[in-house]
């Protein structure tokens, strides 16, 4: 597996699947979710709303959900519930999101995946801890992914 860092908008990363880091309501209102919704179209948000409604209004933290990618150049969008309603996350939640995203991408026939630094934005996990958790999850997960791109978002741009 090749892992690379991509600075820019996650929807512009060359990958068959793109991930959002979102909340238990899959609201797609901030950061990666907003970009996926804004550039992929409201069809993605409607599918997220249907997933949440079918689950009774809130999804478990660490869970992963697949929708179409709308008008994005990706095959699918993978929505990772990386924080709770309290906007908090942890390295364990990050590892679950990575493992779930890899499995969802493989099940969707995708061999490349772009993901954000889970929990490093609004959920306040420090950059280094989020990245370490992602890399540990990538090393330990069986995967058919040939390439994983990590997009650090505004964390890198703000820190340096």
3-state secondary structure of 7: coil
2-159 CATH pick, 3.40.220.10, 2.40.50.140, 3.40.50.880, 3.20.20.70: 3.40.220.10
Rg (CA), the chain: 14
Contact at 8 Å (CB) between 130 and 32? no
What pLDDT digit, counting tens, does each position of 65-89 carry? Answer: 999 999 999 999 999 999 988 888 9
Contact at 8 Å (CB) between 147 and 5? no
> Does the pLDDT value for residue 93 go beyond 90?
yes
Element (H, E) at 3: strand 2-5
Contacts for 70 with CB less than 8 Å, ≥ 6 apart:
40, 41, 42, 43, 44, 77
What pLDDT digit, counting tens, does each position of 138-148 carry? Answer: 998 776 778 99
For residues 129-135, average pLDDT: 91
């Amino acid at each position: 597996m090749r892992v690379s860092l991509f600075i820019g908008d996650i929807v512009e990363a060359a990958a068959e699947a793109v991930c959002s880091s979102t909340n238990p309501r899959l609201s797609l209102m901030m950061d990666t979710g907003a970009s996926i919704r804004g550039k992929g179209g409201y069809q993605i948000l409607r599918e997220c709303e249907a997933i949440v409604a079918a689950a009774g209004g809130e999804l478990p933290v660490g869970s992963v959900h697949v929708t179409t990618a709308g008008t994005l150049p990706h095959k699918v969008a993978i929505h990772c519930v990386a924080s709770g309603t309290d906007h908090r996350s942890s390295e364990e939640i990050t590892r679950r999101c990575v493992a779930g995203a890899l499995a969802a991408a493989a099940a969707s026939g995708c061999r490349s995946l772009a993901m954000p630094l889970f929990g490093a934005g609004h959920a306040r996990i420090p950059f280094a801890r989020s990245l370490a958790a992602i890399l540990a999850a990538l090393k330990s997960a069986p995967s058919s992914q040939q390439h994983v791109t990590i997009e650090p978002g505004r964390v890198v741009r703000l820190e340096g």
